[in-house]
Amino acid sequence: MEVIVQPTPAEAARIAAMLIARAIERKPALVLGLATGGTPLHLYDELVRMHREEGLDLSRVRTFNLDEYLGLPPDHPASYRRFMKEHFFDRTNIDPRRTFVPDGLTQDIPRHCREYEELIESVGGIDIQILGIGSDGHIGFNEPTSSLASRTRDKMLTAQTRRDNARFFASPDDVPNSCLTMGIGTILDSRQCLLLAFGSHKADAVAAAVEGPVTSMIPASALQFHADAKVLVDEPAATKLKLRAYYDYAYRHSPVLQ
């Protein structure tokens, strides 16, 4: 696991965008796993800028979103399909037919989840998976105690996650109780993971995921098993890291990132 600390979220997101852009240049039909919420917005803004100002071509990229709320139609203001359209898809030349988000209105959850996994496999798997981290250490909507081998499935949300996400809804009572989410095993199958975390309220979760034991109580700690996981954080999110000096030294001497 490689930890990259930057002064601001925008600077950390710029590095993540650079890594993604380089990967697209090498493989125009890149398969990109996407996250939602406030954390990846800087990243999407930078990819949009690179598309508009530097000619980054996303027309052949395929995308798979991590999760979606159960019960929300795709045009609901808080749905993740709507989020991606507003913040990324409609601002670039991504082909909408190559973008996939779990269906929150599916009438057959097990079948839909199985087909989502099969669709990812049919395109060769996810090349780069973008991740955020919850204040309780969850990734996707894999809440604490999720199996580290889990696959795409429905999941009941914790009260903490519903509180954290209430800002996206008209009322806290409107936040759905359950969702569809890629599993931790699904995430670990990706060739590279880029986890972004910003703000002091993420510091404990970041430290536990990076430097703590691997445990289902901190689902993001499973990334310690991943062969190519990069954690990009701002200064406030890095305050609980014990090996901060080492991470900074490794970043300064990285031939790939410098």
The Cα 100–Cα 33 span in angstroms is 10
Q: Which of 42, 46, 51, 67 is an active site residue?
A: 67
End-to-end distance of the chain based on CA atoms, in angstroms?
18
Residue 240 CA to residue 248 CA, distance in Å, equals 14
- Selected catalytic residue, list 103, 136, 189, 235: 136
State whether residue 83 is helix, strand or coil: helix
Q: Distance from CA of residue 100 to its chain's centroid?
A: 14
Annotated catalytic residue 11: no
Identify the active-site residue in 46, 103, 143, 235.
Answer: 143
Q: What proportions of the chain, in percent to the nearest 5, are helix, strand and coil? A: 40, 20, 40
C-alpha to C-alpha distance for 74 and 81, rounded to whole angstroms = 5
User: CA-to-CA distance for 203 and 221, rounded, in angstroms?
Assistant: 14
Q: Both tokens of residue 201?
A: 């309220």
Catalytically annotated residue among 76, 112, 138, 226: 138
In the block, residue with structure tokens 């990285």: 254
Strands 153-156 and 178-181: antiparallel
Q: Residue 62 in 3-state DSSP? A: strand
Active site residue 115: no
Active site residue 143: yes
Can 204 be counted among the known catalytic residues? Answer: no
Distance CA 146, CA 257 (A): 33
∠178-180-95 over CA atoms, to 5°? 135
Q: What is the DSSP string of 139-172?
A: BTTB-TT--TT--SEEEEPPHHHHHHTGGGSSSG
Instruction: List, by residue number, the catalytic residues.
Output: 67, 136, 138, 143
